[in-house]
Every structure is written in C-alpha cells, then in structure tokens.
A and B are shown apart, each in its own frame.
Chain A
C-alpha cells in the first residue's frame, strides 16, 4: 500500500506551488516533507488529504487512484498545526466525532474513544474542553481524533510548530514511539531539519515546488544532492572557486572533486564543524582573523574573516579544543577545511532560502 505521487503540479493563480513532483511513501513508513516556508510541502500534504486538487499529475495509494475520491472517502487522518479541535466539544466528543459522523454503534464509539484517550495518555481529561488543555495535550487530542477511524494514512502538517521547544522535543519522541507501535503510513510536514531527522524514516527535501532530494536522514546529510540541500541542512560556509579535471580550487587551496571533469566555476561548501582551526599553518590551510567567539554550550562558534577566501566564515569546535586555542577576537589563526562538497555552477540558483532567512 505505497503512496505514489507522479508528476503533480499545482498553481494558485499565476503562482506555481508544485512543479512536477514525484514521490513515493512506502507502506508503514514515516516520511517527512522538509523545506522552507513556501516550498509547497503543505500544498502537497493537502493534495494527499483531498483538500486541494492538483492541476495535473497522478496520486495513487496501493495502486488505486486517489484523486477521484474526495476528502471524505479517503480515510486519512489529518493533524493540523493549530490542532483544529472543535472548541465546543469535549476531548471525548472530539475523538468520537469521526466515528459518530460514520454512524458507528454507540458501544463501539465509547470503547474506541476510551482506547484512544488512553493511547495518547489523556485518561481523566475526556470531559475537558480544548481551551482547558495545554498545547501539547491539545495536539495529542488532535492525533487521537485523527487515528479514530484507523486511517490508512496519517498526515501531519507542522504538528509541533505551535508548541514551545521542550514540549516539541517530548512530543517528537512520543510520536516516533507511537509510530513504531502502530506502523500507520505517515507523512509529516516540517521546516525543522532536526525534527525531520529525529522523527522520520525518510526525508523528502522540497524547494520552490520541486523535490530536491529523497532519502534517509543520514543519506541526505552525508550526500546532499544540491547546494540547496547543503544550505538547508544546517549552517555552511560557501567558497567561490572553479573545477577542472576532477580537482577543485579556491585560491591556492586544492580539493578533490572526482565527478567533475569539465572546467567550470564552482562553489565549495564546508560545514562549520569541518573547518579545523590551528595556531600554526598546516598544509592546505589559509590564514584568518577571529571576529567573534560564542559559547553555545558544549560547542563554541567562531566567526572568522579571511580576505580572499570568505568575508564571513563560521567554524564550530568543541569546548576543550577551544580552550586549547584560547581564541579572542582579533587573533590570527589558520583554517583548514577537512571535508568539502563541490557543486559546479556560476551562481547559486535562486531558491526558497534566498527569500526566507539565511
């Protein structure tokens, strides 16, 4: 019962939101749609739910076409960012709603509600109204309600986006455990890379209406397929250079880029924790000046200026290393990139990130 999305496009007026999206969600897996706001991930989720109709393309579930069926007939569970609980109904009535509109027998409804309220650990709160619950509790009610009809697919639209950081953390882990128990095929929309990596089996990175990359969290982080993925999955330093014959150059620094034989301009990406700092020059290092040192807890972020290489670079090192170097603003230092990724191209393609923060 795999969900298949083939060539789905959608525009709102003249604004294209999804362009030829292909995607598959294997049965029983939890897949995260990850991307900056405006990348089309929520629209894709709403198409799966039946709340939007694509302009073109196919969606099927277990081989059956999904688009001919309206939202009512799809038997999906949908969880909204702002819960969308019925505010004039108690927790129990909310959870019972999907069963009642399907005219299930009363005894069955009551038993199922009891079971679900237990599942989301809200025993004793069934008589409360939504406004009497905390955000985390409300979202668990929404989840219980979405699961009430034993949906074939569970869709979650930024489910933890409205919660504060600690509750979000807890609920993420809880959702992951719940999924391991229920194994319902789930699609999860988020703009938070940490959240996607922690909860999902597979991550689908979206940008400007397209799927940029699809894979396990480790795959997309270790082998980013595009500059966008590289930039979206955490902070990264960008150096301008060029490639020729399987080598990449930034100034006089040389890196191996075996897949790139043709001569062209290129960008070399290095994560902050892959920039090694040393007080003496090393082979393949360049000089820089320390601008600012920020302690982030277990690690330290160092902002650097290296004329000719980068006006604003960022390195991250652990606390002992930082103590050993005793860095202060104004100090001279030597920087050697340890792991780089090289992408050819003259300019970075405009993407959703350019529009939002970063």
Chain B
C-alpha cells in the first residue's frame, strides 16, 4: 500500500522522446490506425453514392412531384377536406400515443435501472418486441383482441364501444409500434448514470416525487426528448399496423400515410405526393430537432472555464 502511494506521489513520467525527423519527412509517416488515402476516398465515395441513390434521389423525386403544379396546387391538395381530416387524425393519434409511451418509457427505464427483480431480462426483451415484429402483426393483434369476432369484441359491442375501424384501434396499434423508443433511449443512459444522485436526494429528505421532478427528470431530459422525437416521428409515419385496423374510412379513419396510399391508388399522383411531402417535412423537422438537441447537450457538458 505504501509503495503504491509513493508511486502516485512521484514526479510524472517524462514524455516519450519526440521522433527526430527531418523537415518534410514527417508527411510520409502515417499513424498505424490510419487507412491509406485511396481506401478512405473509396469508402467515403461509396457511402455518399449510396446515400444519393437511396435517399436523396427519392426524396428529391417526391418533392419535385409534390410541387410540380406549383405552390398553389400543393396548398390546395394539402388543404382539401379529406387531407385536413387525415392531418387532424395523425396529430390526434400522436398526441395520445406519444405521451402514453413517454410515461411508459420512463416507468420501464426506471424499473429496469433502479430495481433488482426476477423477470427483468424478460421485460427488457419484451420492450424490444415491437422492433422485431412486423407492424402488420401489431395491427392484426388489435383486430384479434378488439374486433367484432375478437376476444373482447362481444363485450365492446354490448357496451356500444368501437375500437377496430375507429380511432381507438389506430391509437392502440400506434402505441404498440412506438413503445420501445423512449424506454430504449433512457435505459442505457440511466444505467450509465447510476443511482447515487437519487440516493443522495433520498437521504436528504426528498420524497419520491421530488426526486423524480428535481433530480431524475432534469438529468435525463435530453435522452427523454430524443426518445420522444423519435417516437413521434414513428407515430405519425406508421403505415402497416394502422392500415390493418383503420378500415380506410375516408375523412374518418385515414391518417396521413393511409391517405397518401389512397390518393396514389386512385391515380391522384400530384395530390398523393403533395400530402406525402408533409411527412417528408416531418422527417426534416425531426432531423433538425435531433441536431439541436445534440448541440445543446454538448454545450451543457462543455466545462465553462476550469476552476
């Protein structure tokens, strides 16, 4: 023990001697982990080409098609009554599904990172289930449970409640598909942070609610927002699960993605692409929000002048 301390207190080791290089000779040496220039160029080029072909080109095509008739035609397609109903429904579904999954994600992340209990790994696997299952199956499970011939169908009918082919079904399917996003974002972050701050707050006399509001939430806020943004993007863009349960009743159970598909199958290409461009806008907003979050997170971590 004594020897270890002496080592610690001793003078710092001298820096390794600099390589004596003739001026100009330096450029020829590469670090061992650095790839040769041709490999770098090829890899970057391939990545950019891939991005262009599979992302930029389709995006440009959608936007080009959407605005081909000019801004006026676009505005008309987007504001006609059925499109407006689809937008309203999409916003409504997101407004229900996102807060629900935020609350669920927080609760799941809290329980997984703060307690030891049997079945924890099963819960973790279940959280990931919607990532692994095709959204169509999510929709079908809602039909199986709540449809007219489903498990709960007769009871629902007797009470005059309609789930499938109505807004509640769409919300259920969306909640199923989007529930991992917030939890998945929070769990690794909260695991890395540990529980010391919460324990400190508890010993100082804070109640569970005070700990959540004044310690935990401020600590995880960036991860939480990040998860919410991703969850929202998926909730608004979900097609498969919603398509199964919606019944495609125009003006009533059509969300934006479903509406786009209907317009497209009716050969109303320009209107279809105009409405589709709204989803594209959502993607851009999501990207911008993600970047803004990353930026503010980094700014907060940067020490403001070492003491």
| Chain A interface residues (CB < 8 Å from chain B) | 49-51, 71-78, 80, 82, 84-88, 97-98, 101-102, 125, 128-129, 131-134, 137, 145-146, 148-149, 164-166, 192-194, 234-235, 296-297
Interface-facing stretch out of B4-12, B122-130, B157-165, B240-248: B4-12
B197 contacts across to A, CB distance below 8 A:
84-87
State whether the Cβ of B202 lies closer than 8 Å to any Cβ in chain A.
yes
How far, in angstroms, from A192 to B165 measured CA to CA in the complex?
69
Given A125-B307, A132-B306, A132-B307, residue A78 in contact with residue B200 (CB < 8 A): yes
Give the interface SS of chain A, mostly helix, strand, loop or mixed.
loop
Q: Which of B1, B219, B305 contacts A234 (CB 8 A)?
A: B1
Give the interface SS of chain B, mostly helix, strand, loop or mixed.
helix
Q: Are A192 and B1 in contact (CB under 8 A)?
A: yes
Interface-facing stretch out of B104-112, B205-213, B267-275, B278-286: B205-213
A85 contacts across to B, CB distance below 8 A:
197
Q: Are B304 and A78 in contact (CB under 8 A)?
A: no
In the complex, residue of chain B having the shortest beta-carbon distance to the beta carbon of A74: B203
Q: Are A72 and B219 in contact (CB under 8 A)?
A: no
Besides the contacts A78-B203, A97-B201, A164-B8, what 18 more A-B pairs have beta carbons closer than 8 Å?
Answer: A49-B203, A51-B199, A72-B202, A73-B205, A77-B203, A84-B197, A86-B214, A86-B215, A98-B205, A101-B207, A102-B205, A128-B307, A129-B304, A132-B306, A145-B200, A149-B204, A165-B5, A165-B8
Q: Which 4 pairs across A and B sit closest by C-beta, in order of nearness? A: A98-B204, A84-B196, A84-B200, A101-B206
State whether the Cβ of B149 lies closer than 8 Å to any Cβ in chain A.
no
Interface size on B, as a range, is 20 to 34
Q: Are B206 and A235 in contact (CB under 8 A)?
A: no
| Least CB distance, A313 to chain B, in whole angstroms | 16
Q: Which of B2, B201, B207 contacts A235 (CB 8 A)?
A: B2
Q: Are B201 and A80 in contact (CB under 8 A)?
A: no
| Least CB distance, A181 to chain B, in whole angstroms | 22
How far, in angstroms, from A317 to B228 measured CA to CA in the complex?
67
Given A165-B5, A165-B9, A234-B1, residue A101 in contact with residue B196 (CB < 8 A): no
Residues of B54-94 at the interface with A, using a CB-CB cut-off of 8 Å, are none
How far, in angstroms, from A76 to B199 measured CA to CA in the complex?
12
Q: Are B218 and A88 in contact (CB under 8 A)?
A: yes
27 examples of A-B residue contacts, CB within 8 angstroms: A50-B203, A71-B203, A72-B202, A72-B206, A73-B205, A75-B205, A76-B203, A80-B196, A84-B196, A84-B197, A84-B199, A86-B197, A86-B200, A87-B197, A97-B206, A97-B214, A101-B204, A101-B214, A131-B301, A131-B303, A132-B305, A132-B306, A133-B307, A134-B306, A145-B200, A165-B8, A296-B6
